[in-house]
Each structure stands twice: as C-alpha cells, then as structure tokens.
Amino acid sequence: MPRTSVQPLRARATVLAAALAAGALTALTSPPANAAVGEPAGDSSYAYTAHLAIGDNFRACTGALVDRYWVITAASCFAADPAQATGVGGAPKWHTTVTVGRTDLNATNTGVSTEVVDLAARADRDLVMAKLATPVDGITPLRVAGTAPVPSEKLRMPGYGRTKAEWVPNRLHSGAFTLASVRATAVDTTGTDGAAVCKGDTGAPVVRENGGVGELVAVASRSWQGGCLGETETRTGAANSRTDDLAGWVKDLRYSTADVQAGTHVQIIGSDNALYDSVANYATGGWSNSWTPTGNDSLLAVDSVAVGDTVHVYAVLGNHRVYSRDGKVGGRWGTWNEVPGGAVAGDGAQKITAAVRGNTGMVDVEIIGSDGSLYGTTADYNTSTWRPTWDKIGDNRLTAVTSAYFDNATHVFAINEDGKVYTRTGNHTTGSWGTDWLELPGSRPNVTSISATVHGTTIDLSIAGTDTFYSTSGHFDTGHWDQQWTPMDDNRLTILTSTTSDNVVHIYAVNEDKKVYTRDADYNTSLWTAWKAIPGGATGVKAITAASTD
C-alpha cells in the first residue's frame, strides 16, 4: 500500500498407449498412454504438475493440481481395464501417492507428497478429480480455462513419462502441441518440433499459455506415441479430454473441501464474483498462503460473524436474495440456504450487514433494499430458525451499511445518499428501533465505506472517504461520540471491514489498486500499526468481510 502513517492509537510404473484401428483411436487391453516428449522443465516451471504412483509399481500417471485438495487426471489411470474407464469413483482400488512441485522425482527436498483418498469421475469422458489426504500449500493451482480451445491453437503439455531416450526419466518434461480438432468432449492434438506423448503421462494437463499464465483446456487420454523410446510409430497425435466446459463441476468439488480453520476468517468477493477465504492466526502471526475458493460465483455483497466456533456467512446473490452458510472450525463449509422472506422491495437486497447479540446465539441481519431502505431479520441458532419475513426499518436512500451489538442493542451505521454517516439503534429490551436516524458528529460528505466493531465499552467506526481513511469512536461508558473524525492516512480505500481480538481492532481494506491490506489499532500499546498486504495476491476485489473464532 503506497501511502501510510503511524499515529497514536487507532513408483513408478508405465501406462501403455492406445492404437489406431480402422482409422480411429482405440484402446488396447493395457492402460492408455500419454507422456510429453520434449525439453526438461525448469525447476519452477509447471509446478502444478503432479506425478501419480498407483499401486506397488503397478502404474504411473501425470495430473495437475487445480486446488490445494484436488488433482485432475485421467479416470483410466484408476480403472482395472483402462480401455473401459468406467465405474471409477470413491476410494481408489490401489494405494496412490501424488507428488506435486517436484521437477526431479529423485530429489526429496522439494515438492509435496500425499495420498489420494477419494475419486470423483466423469461418466462422459476419461477424466477424474482425485482428492488428496492433506492439502498442498505454497504451489499455485492451475486455473481451469473458461473458453473453448480452437483449431490451430498452440498448447503445452508437461509430463513425467517416457522420453525418446529414457524409459524412466524421473524428471518433468514438456512439449509443444497444436490443436488439430475440437469435439464435444475431447480435443485432438499433434506434437510439434519433435514433441510427442509417451507412456507414463496419461492425465497430463494440456495447457494454454497466455502472457506467461497457464490455464487447463484438456487432460491427456490416448496417444500414438510417435518417437517415444521403444516405439516404431511416427505419428504424434493424441486425444485429450476437454475441461474448458467443466469449470463449474471442478469448482463445486473444490468448494466441497474448503476447510474451516481456527482464527480470523477474511473473506472476499473476487473479480469473478466468487467467494474466497484467508485465515489469520494472530497467536502465531501467520496467514494462509493463498485465498481458498469457498463457493458460488454470483455474489454481490457479503458479511460474516462468528458464534462460538462457527463462522456464519451471509451473502446477496445475483438474484438479489439473501443466503447463508456455516462453517464450523475443524469441518467444511456448508451449503448455501436462502434466508426466509424472499425478495425485498422489488429487486431485493443490495448491501448486507450482520451483528451477533452477545452470547445469546442470535444474529441480527440487515439489508439495504433496491429502494434504498433498511430491512431486518434475525437468526436464532439455538433453535436453528429465522424470522419468517424481513421487517422494514425506515424509508431512506442508503448506499452502505454496517452494524455492531452492545448492551442489548444493535447499532446500525449507514451512508445516506448525501454521502454522510448516520446511526440508528434497535433496542432489544423494548423491541423497537429509535425514532429516527442521527447524523454522527464530525460527519462529512463523500464517504464510500464504513465498518463498526466493539472493544470494551467502545464502538470503533472505520470510515473510508474519497480523500482519506478516518476513525471515530462511540464511548458508551460516558455516553458520547468523538466530536471529530480522526484522519489516519491519505490512502484511497474503496471498501473495508474490521474485527476485534485481545483489545486489538483489526482493519481489513481494499485499496485503490483493488488489493487487500490490513492494519491494527492496538489498544494495548495505544498505537496503530502500518498497512501490510494480506498474502495470496488477491486482485480485483469487490467486497470484504471478516469474522474471528479466536
């Protein structure tokens, strides 16, 4: 973040090839093949490529890491008769070890090795997702392409299989290929500059490279093996299972294994409108190394809270209705369920906020409807029920909202159409909202985002303006607000959120570069920390929320 200041407080076996009969690629009774004859890969090239050792020197294949828990490869690798790659699913028949990020398989000081515990196969093509026993961190997964390959397109295929000179090279190679034809579920490729696919690389990723960034368009299935050691065939054609039309299927499987860790969960809506999660462990000072996709790709707004060891996420989806999902520490994220009440005010919800009612197990959720007015509902996690309808709180023209709970009341803070900040209180003792909105002292126009969090008897309000980042506080022990907003620095924040732990207010913000940063207001030392980028390289962030299970 460019501008900042610190101020007082705030085994390998082989896989045999397919053969051509009567003008068509046909599998033999032995497993089909594909390994890429080509140049040795550099130490950091194609780090996502996986080597699969299946059984006790029974079979070897290649695959690609597409998620920290998943490798994509050919289903025929796990079939008793690879010529009939059906019925693959569940726990693999043979013990399988996957090694990712190790260019030289003889080396032991690089890469990650783990086991396959489950298989999810396609019935319409030679393709399977292999679930790993432990996640692979520190290696960027290969992105699945969202657009179809086209004839004559130049592609790359990395693999661990046989080469022209070595039976078992134990080293990753890659070759260049040209796409010859596109079929409904497959693409055909031809090796160029002497490249071919050989025994040992079934399941190798077929990669489109654009500006140095790779994306998966297919997975190798069958090959002529022209030029491979021990083969007399000269043709270098291969058939490969398409993946570009399966991005949604791959995403669904990835989301199903996103684990919930203890710590502060910072979640963002990315440039693809999907939800991603990173976890900060303030006890150890560590962050997740990457943003984990946790589900759905049509989110418009999001907020989250923690009730005990469970994180509850509330989101506005593309249909402008509100959905929730839960994630218990040590488990997985649950499915999205629509919050009762349906659409609100015509086109429905636009923005959302949530606040936990202390230790009661209840959460108040408020939304801004398409009419700009505020609506509210409540979840009771003691009985797993929701209020059946959204209650309208007032007629307004709001543009952003946040909330916090203190002393049996939910305090809502909103930006109105005039660009100023106002507050309104829902008193749970009387069961009513305050009669009207009150403008906060020191409020000024051109506010873009706000976030509220409680520490002790104080509500801290973080404010992103078009000119700078501000902070103000409401002191419930003395019954007053700060009379002026304190300018903290001259960053150009667009959206922000905050949490509190151990008397430290943690701010998470998206800067004008659309990346995510964090800083703390440490009330133990009465100092602010400097801004730091959250690891993972998230860009194009559209929304952010945070909840702590600490």
Per-residue pLDDT at 251: 83
Q: How wide is the angle at C-alpha 266 spanned by C-alphas 343 and 482, nearest 5°?
A: 85
- How is residue 239 written in tokens? 């058939």
Q: E strands of 192-340, at which residues?
A: 196-197, 205-210, 213-223, 237-242, 264-269, 275-281, 286-287, 292-295, 299-307, 310-317, 322-328, 337-338
Q: Per residue in 331-363, pLDDT tens? A: 888 889 999 987 775 568 899 999 999 999 999
Residue, of 7 and 396, whose pLDDT is higher: 396
Q: Which of 249, 194, 202 is nearest to 221 (CA)?
A: 202
For residue 310, CA distances in Å to 262, 353, 381 come to 9, 17, 11
Residue, of 23 and 295, whose pLDDT is higher: 295
Look at 18-32, 127-141, 264-278, 356-370 and tell me which has the smallest mean pLDDT: 18-32
**Does the pLDDT value for residue 175 go beyond 80?**
yes
Per-residue pLDDT at 360: 94
Mean pLDDT on 287-311: 89
Q: Which residue has the tokens 């069958």?
A: 222
Neighbours of 120 (CB within 10 A): 20
**Does the pLDDT value for residue 481 go beyond 80?**
yes
**Does the pLDDT value for residue 109 go beyond 90?**
no
At residue 150, what are phi and psi to the nearest 5 degrees? Answer: -125, 150
Q: Which of 412, 409, 483, 476 is nearest to 450 (CA)?
A: 412
- CA count, 13 A, side-chain hemisphere, 138: 9
Q: Per residue in 45-98, pLDDT tens? A: 799 999 999 998 789 999 999 988 999 999 999 988 777 776 688 899 999 999
Q: Per residue in 212-229, pLDDT tens? A: 789 999 999 998 888 888
Q: Per residue in 116-126, pLDDT tens? A: 999 999 999 99
Cα 472 from Cα 392, distance rounded (Å): 28
For residue 212, CA distances in Å to 40, 45, 46, 147 come to 18, 11, 11, 17
Per-residue pLDDT at 15: 34
**Does the pLDDT value for residue 6 go beyond 70?**
no
Per-residue pLDDT at 44: 61
**Does the pLDDT value for residue 295 go beyond 90?**
no
Per-residue pLDDT at 3: 42
Per-residue pLDDT at 347: 65
| Percent of the chain scoring above 70 in pLDDT | 91
Band (234; pLDDT cuts 50, 70, 90)? confident
Per-residue pLDDT at 178: 94
Q: Are 380 and 358 in contact (CB under 8 A)?
A: no
Per-residue pLDDT at 5: 37
Q: Are 372 and 331 in contact (CB under 8 A)?
A: no
Q: What is the mean pLDDT of the chain?
A: 86
- How is residue 71 written in tokens? 């490798």
**Does the pLDDT value for residue 168 go beyond 50?**
yes
**Does the pLDDT value for residue 8 go beyond 60?**
no
Stated pTM of the model:
0.72
What structural domains does the chain harbor? Answer: 18-250 (2.40.10.10), 258-548 (2.120.10.80)
Per-residue pLDDT at 75: 95
- How is residue 202 written in tokens? 């079934």
Per-residue pLDDT at 216: 96
- How is residue 185 written in tokens? 């579920």
Per-residue pLDDT at 39: 57
**Does the pLDDT value for residue 181 go beyond 80?**
yes
Neighbours of 346 (CB within 10 A): 9
Helix, strand, coil % over all residues of the chain, rounded to 5: 5, 50, 45
Q: Per residue in 389-426, pLDDT tens? A: 999 998 889 999 999 999 999 999 999 999 999 999 99
Band (17; pLDDT cuts 50, 70, 90)? very low
**Does the pLDDT value for residue 20 go beyond 90?**
no
Q: Per residue in 235-245, pLDDT tens? A: 988 999 999 99
Per-residue burial over 8-42, b if 16 or more Cβ lie within 10 Å, else e, is eebbbbbbbbbbeeeeebebeebbbbbbbbbeebe
For residue 283, CA distances in Å to 280, 382, 478, 501, 539 come to 9, 30, 32, 11, 27
351 CB contacts (<8 Å, ≥6 apart)?
301, 316, 367, 368, 398, 399, 400, 401
Look at 12-26, 30-44, 164-178, 353-367 and tell me which has the smallest mean pLDDT: 12-26
DSSP single-letter state for residue 333:
B
Q: Which residue has the tokens 């909330």?
A: 403
End-to-end CA distance of the chain: 27
Band (43; pLDDT cuts 50, 70, 90)? low
Per-residue pLDDT at 196: 85
Band (10; pLDDT cuts 50, 70, 90)? very low
Band (369; pLDDT cuts 50, 70, 90)? very high
